[in-house]
Structure 1
Amino acid sequence: MFENIEFANPQFFWLLVLLPLALLWYVFKHKNQTAALKISSVKGFTVTSWASKLRPVLFIMRLLALAAIITALARPQTEDISTRTKTTKGIDIVMAIDVSSSMLARDLKPNRLSALKEVAADFIKQRPNDRIGLVGYAGESYTKTPITSDKAIVLNALREITYGELEDGTAIGMGLATSVNRLKESKAISKVIILLTDGVNNSGFIEPQTAADLAVEFGIKTYTIGLGTNGNALSPIGYNPDGSFRYGMHQVEIDEELLKEIAKVTGGQYFRATDNDKLEEIYDEINKLEKTEIEEFKYYKYEEKFRPLIFLAGVLLLLEWALRNSIFKSFI
């Protein structure tokens, strides 16, 4: 009965201090309520009345009734809370990922592409209320998955992204244009592209500036990320006879001015990730910048529990009155 009970008016519990005061009053005044007869001897008198010994029970019943009434005044109740959330501002996001051979450089561990996929997966999991799509680009671009609210599909597609699906190169304009194409029909209030590259635009037939203008026309914000350490990085520089990559130190070249310009004209920001930790911090920062507004409704249902206490107090008082006017009538 009293599991998970809360009290709406706990201040009434201060009235419980009356109970010990009433008990003290009863103890000190009890003798004055009973007539005394002094005689020289009680020989010949037989005292067998059990009722006189039990008459304090009536006062105890009255105290218990008073305690029940005070507890009832404190209004014990249980609270049931149900919630419902409503997404008031949805965000559609396309992640444009460079999958050129330079993404296999090992300045990030184990390499740039693997590090990106791990961080991007965490980012996707933190966006349960948004739709996300993936675009891959190298010498050309393609849609890995259109924008969808099914995160399992997006995460599975992200895991499948590998080098070698496209002709090698870095077509930043193509990657951005394909991302814009995926978002241009979106009805979302906020549309975002996260474009990551580790190189310089050297392929494709769409200029990055043209793609950026398209993003502006369709109200699409673009965050750009330059990936790679400063200086030289251990990168693929050729092929071994068995077809595997031969690695060597290679100068890191990122067209930061271009990436800054794309971010600026579209209302986004440019970031530079030189190691795994910095890359993770960047995605955390974007996650904070692009927040989906969620409205939460809470419904409270209260169930009052004072009625059994009032019933108990009534029974005690009624029983006390009945005993006082029957069994204990001669003694009280």
Structure 2
Amino acid sequence: MKQLSFLLLILLLSCSQADNKAGKKEIPQQNIALLVDNSITMLAKDFKPNRISILKNALQKIINHKKENQAFSIIVYAGNSYLLCALTKDKNQLLSAADKIDTGILKLRPGTNFSNPLLNGILSLSSGFSNKSMLLFTDGKENVSSYPLDIPLQELIRNNIKVNTVIVTPKDFKIEPTQIDYEGNFIFEKTKVEPFDYSQPKKISSITGGVLNTLHTKEELLKFDFNKLISESQNQKKVNRKTLSQPENEKLSAVYHEIELVNDSLAIRFNQPKPSH
């Protein structure tokens, strides 16, 4: 009798565990590439101490408050781009990389190029199965060209990757570096802000189904609600798919190969220890 009771108890426990497992729904992983502007204008002092430092703080906040199912990669870009951190859910690894997001300002090519980091972001998300998106931070329009913008846009649509964009720009006056003195120090100049050219960032986000936000102050950037933006983007719809041409597979493979080669070559420069003073 005791043995029968014991067997019944084991059977009941087994059924209970099976019911619990069946009741738990696995939350799909969110794979997100963070694209961070490293152009020289990110040294502007209108966001004290400068734009890149405040953006670094905002990224650290995003990482510290990330959900368990969120995996990030980090790409820094200017005239070209570099994969600073491969796709991972490891918070410590991401924070270590975020601490270095300003190191590309003098290591990357001058200017701002959107096609390059978008393609690098697609590569970084290739290990993720689904639920992919990007968050593009920039303070200006593209002024350096590499690959036609339609190439990454078509790839983003084909891979169902949304690009959410955050514009970082002051409202009234900007304090940007304009020259370098004989000692190698930047000279800053305060000038009136011109109307921002939204054409390219708006095209990138609208075609891929993302949202576009503009942050005008240091306080707005530090209070930026990342997960709210992700929720908003889920309700966006893609448009203008038919206006984009599909690149040839051979050409596309060559482009991705070039991006990977640049990542490998820049790794040497980015991994050099900081000089001691």
Assess same fold via TM > 0.5.
yes
The percentage of aligned residue pairs carrying the same residue is 26
Is the counterpart of residue 125 in structure 1 residue 64 in structure 2?
yes
Determine the structure 2 residue equivalent to 1:234. 175
Q: What amino acid does structure 2 have at the position aligned with 1:197?
A: T
Is the counterpart of residue 111 in structure 1 residue 50 in structure 2?
yes
- Compute the displacement of 1:252 (Å): 4.4
5 Å-filtered alignment, 1:121-270, equals: 121-127=60-66, 128-162=68-102, 163-188=105-130, 190-250=131-191, 252=193, 254-270=196-212
Determine the C-alpha separation between the residues in 2 that align with 1:165 and 1:87. 42
- Cα 1:204–1:185, aligned 2, differ >3 Å: closer, same or farther? farther
- Compute the displacement of 1:287 (Å): 5.1
8 Å CA contact retained: 1:174, 1:207: no
Q: Secondary structure at the match of 2:224?
A: helix
Q: Secondary structure at the match of 2:99?
A: helix
Determine the C-alpha separation between the residues in 2 that align with 1:88 and 1:233. 43
Whichever of the two has the greater Rg, that structure is 1
Q: What amino acid does structure 1 have at the position aligned with 2:94?
A: V
- Compute the displacement of 1:284 (Å): 5.2
Determine the C-alpha separation between the residues in 1 that align with 2:149 and 2:179. 28
Determine the C-alpha separation between the residues in 2 that align with 1:133 and 1:185. 11
Determine the C-alpha separation between the residues in 2 that align with 1:251 and 1:181. 38
1:277 to 219, 228, 237: 219
Determine the C-alpha separation between the residues in 2 that align with 1:283 and 1:275. 16
5 Å-filtered alignment, 1:66-77, equals: none
Q: Secondary structure at the match of 1:135?
A: strand
- Compute the displacement of 1:285 (Å): 2.7
Q: What amino acid does structure 2 have at the position aligned with 1:135?
A: I
- Cα 1:112–1:122, aligned 2, differ >3 Å: closer, same or farther? same
Q: What amino acid does structure 2 have at the position aligned with 1:166?
A: L
Provide the alpha-carbon RMSD of the alignment: 2.2
8 Å CA contact retained: 1:195, 1:223: yes
- Compute the displacement of 1:124 (Å): 1.4
Q: Which has the higher strand share?
A: 1
Is the counterpart of residue 90 in structure 1 residue 29 in structure 2?
yes
- Listed as ranges, the gaps of 5+ residues in structure 1 are 1-82, 292-332
8 Å CA contact retained: 1:97, 1:196: yes
TM-score (norm 1): 0.58
- Compute the displacement of 1:209 (Å): 3.5
Q: What amino acid does structure 2 have at the position aligned with 1:183?
A: L
- Listed as ranges, the gaps of 5+ residues in structure 2 are 1-19, 235-277
Determine the C-alpha separation between the residues in 1 that align with 2:148 and 2:40. 21
- Compute the displacement of 1:156 (Å): 0.5
Determine the C-alpha separation between the residues in 2 that align with 1:266 and 1:115. 27
8 Å CA contact retained: 1:145, 1:154: yes
Determine the C-alpha separation between the residues in 2 that align with 1:147 and 1:223. 18
Q: Secondary structure at the match of 1:237?
A: strand
Determine the structure 2 residue equivalent to 1:63. none
Q: What amino acid does structure 2 have at the position aligned with 1:95?
A: L
Q: Deviations over 1:214-240 (max 9, x none)?
A: 111111011011111124300100112
Aligned residues: 208
8 Å CA contact retained: 1:120, 1:283: no
Q: Secondary structure at the match of 1:271?
A: strand
Determine the structure 2 residue equivalent to 1:17. none
8 Å CA contact retained: 2:210, 2:233: no
